[in-house]
Structure 1
């Protein structure tokens, strides 16, 4: 590698990031979760039981939108890497994308009185637009971590605060969205209006929080591009070819967040039909997110005591145990169902948070191998696998539920109930076990990352 064309990093180091800025950064993830967690957890149910689309058609739509993402997201990442404004490279997208993101989300949860074919076209159009606007916001938001600091301890701390806010958003969504949808449905007399008003509230709150995040963060890690070091589309393939830690992290993302999305999106079906207690949906959702309030502040300490591999292995083991427990526990034993949900959530929250903290070091590794600091490209790749994982919550359940004979808004057959249970427990558990094996393929430990940072700082 010709290091003479490598990028020069001007880093304000050492500088401890103030808690005010960490909170400002964290509110961005709170905003994204207000909108996209609502989509991930409830859009499939909305399409099948409110909007009137079949489970199979909805599952196919989730797949098609992810394929479109596969084409578009790398271009978005490349554009972001070329961005130069007085506000920085990443922060402007939070400011200018906030309200378009909220507006499209509201359209996704709107039920116009179209015929069935036009209704499906409307669903495709609004969901594709939502996915694109989410990329335009979330790729630069995620990349902002590596622009705020390169210190690994500060990255873990920053990510922990971010995940605390993100999981708080998930908690509010899992409990508050069904609650509000029920309240507004009773007020308006229309289920569709209840969901639309609920999404309007979540969308507007999310937009203002993104703007708050913009005003309360700072990009410290500045990059001076030489002509030879400009980011272009081929850097996507270069990163995939040379950056082994990035490949493993992308694999984690598609499996880890795929499992989360399956469990979350099928949970409402499970509680409504298997447990036969639809009034418990909000409490079931709350149990899956509440542990974050305890775990996230402890994340830096757990990382210090256990290291990344042991921490991930422990978290994923808990996740698998909780999921398999839910498979074995009769749905009529509600307290035990909630206990299984809690065990799975402890692992889910910890593994999810720490997976995000791995990305900045893959950016450092990519710069070490290629001479280019491709923040946007790498976060676009990770973002694609994250969104594909989230979409698995619609693809897999939609197709499997249709195969087991699920029909919306009626008592389900034993076969359909079996399909719901297997989709929420056994299939995700298999994915988690694959993740446990993949942990040992991650070759960037703390000692090697520190060495790479020292090399980067000495390059002229």
Structure 2
């Protein structure tokens, strides 16, 4: 490629034609809000749903989550090939968001429905609905992710759009990790099976509407020229020779192993390890009980029914704990774009990921009574991890640009299949580890108090086991060559080549 001599300042100023409207950024971000309302419920609570609600043995749940997840992971590259070769008047990637919206919502509801089957029938139903949901998730989310690479070719605008997107992700994560279990108990009147079904009905309807808004408000602008078309074999060869793509694939798998493992294990941590009396006192000390009492006073004075926050201390603690992390993730996202613009995505991502990992490791040293330290570590972990969240996806879009820059061919969706394959594989491994670790340490959902070895295994899972993949991910970044200087060169060269 030509070596273009452009100043950093000139690269930082996007032409008017490259700038995206707020409407389009918000419209695009709603697609991730829709997907995450459904999929984060699936990832975070499917092990809990299988073992404690649908009453599937932990060993069987491990098999379902791992096998179904890996099937979905290997479908991602296939979906990338299909999406890159889709030709419609709406573009390549946008129509998939439209076509999969209703199937996605429907399968989400079915996956959290509990039909009264025999034990073998329960396992078969769970396995079929699990696989179907991860497949339609690939058909929806891979084109959605690839869309970010063709809405604009300007890397600054791409960083901005990623920040909007991951604010939406954090909103969805807040709803799922903070409000989901209370909603389940409220909407099911204490019956978790009914509550999960009613909650997912609401999420499915909202998700379908948001997907349609994303389809309507976005536009594909980076168009592949006819002479740039390539065969499937050539796309695969290009990928295997693309070192940044290989590194991002490994990194994504490792990141999502940790997210699935610690996210799925926290509810067990609060129910079985954290001291209930100290946790209840912590709720009182931080004013949470008074907050709920004040809210109910306002509602009753207005002639409305009280808000029935669950009196289950562990569920309340888990919800507040997750809320602290997510609020500070959102704050971290606010620092993501300016830091990435100044220091480059790779360096900011690596430093922030390492710092967030330290606060995960600290959980191993906390006693069941160290409630304030647990919450403090969650806050700092959430802040530093929040910085990494939009950068990860923006780096994948940069890898697609790198592939076009190196090979004069663009295959956006198959490049993004690295992210979706890594996401699915990581979630499958991490999610199955939740159930697998519980089975290894002899967790029994029918016991009021678990054995000491089981409780210690749960503590180790949310600390040491969860930190290991993050630390390995930090190591991968030493081999990732797209630093700030290379980002600028790639963007400048591609602007010339695209005319």
Give 1:6's aligned residue: none
Give SS of 1:291's match.
Answer: helix
Aligned pair 1:415/2:453, yes or no?
yes
Give 1:383's aligned residue: 420
Question: Quick check: 2:328–2:380 contact (8 Å CA) kept in 1?
Answer: no
Give 2:476's aligned residue: 438
Change (3 A) 1:420 1:239: farther
Aligned pair 1:330/2:367, yes or no?
yes
Offset of 1:192 from its aligned partner?
0.7
Once residues 185 and 357 of structure 1 are traced to their aligned partners in structure 2, the CA distance between those partners, rounded to angstroms, is 40
Once residues 464 and 74 of structure 2 are traced to their aligned partners in structure 1, the CA distance between those partners, rounded to angstroms, is 31
Change (3 A) 1:70 1:305: closer
Offset of 1:208 from its aligned partner?
0.8
Give 2:60's aligned residue: 57
Unaligned runs of at least 5 residues, structure 2:
2-13, 277-313
Give SS of 1:263's match.
Answer: helix
Larger Rg: 2
Aligned pair 1:190/2:191, yes or no?
yes
Once residues 135 and 158 of structure 2 are traced to their aligned partners in structure 1, the CA distance between those partners, rounded to angstroms, is 27
Give 2:485's aligned residue: 447
Cα-Cα RMSD:
1.9
Offset of 1:450 from its aligned partner?
2.6
Question: Quick check: 1:262–1:394 contact (8 Å CA) kept in 2?
Answer: yes
Aligned pair 1:395/2:432, yes or no?
yes
Give SS of 1:47's match.
Answer: helix
Change (3 A) 1:113 1:375: same
Change (3 A) 1:238 1:172: same
Q: Deviations over 1:323-371 (max 9, x none)?
A: 1111111122222211111122122222232111101110011122333
Q: Deviations over 1:21-77 (max 9, x none)?
A: 111111111111100011111111000100111112111212111332244222211
Displacement over 3 Å in runs of 4+: 11-14, 453-460
Change (3 A) 1:381 1:313: closer
Question: Quick check: 1:287–1:342 contact (8 Å CA) kept in 2?
Answer: yes
Question: Quick check: 1:12–1:221 contact (8 Å CA) kept in 2?
Answer: no
Offset of 1:458 from its aligned partner?
4.1
Aligned pair count reads: 447
Aligned pair 1:212/2:210, yes or no?
no
Please point out which of 135, 143, 164 is paired with 2:138: 135
Q: Deviations over 1:262-313 (max 9, x none)?
A: 1111011111111142331211221221113322233221213332233112
Offset of 1:457 from its aligned partner?
4.0
Offset of 1:397 from its aligned partner?
1.5
* TM-score, normalised via structure 1 length: 0.93
Give 1:242's aligned residue: 241
Aligned pair 1:348/2:385, yes or no?
yes
Map residues 54-453 of structure 1 onto 2, 5 A cutoff: 54-186=57-189, 190-226=191-227, 229-232=229-232, 234-235=233-234, 237-275=236-274, 276=276, 277-410=314-447, 411-453=449-491
Change (3 A) 1:307 1:70: closer
Once residues 335 and 252 of structure 2 are traced to their aligned partners in structure 1, the CA distance between those partners, rounded to angstroms, is 22
Give SS of 1:331's match.
Answer: coil
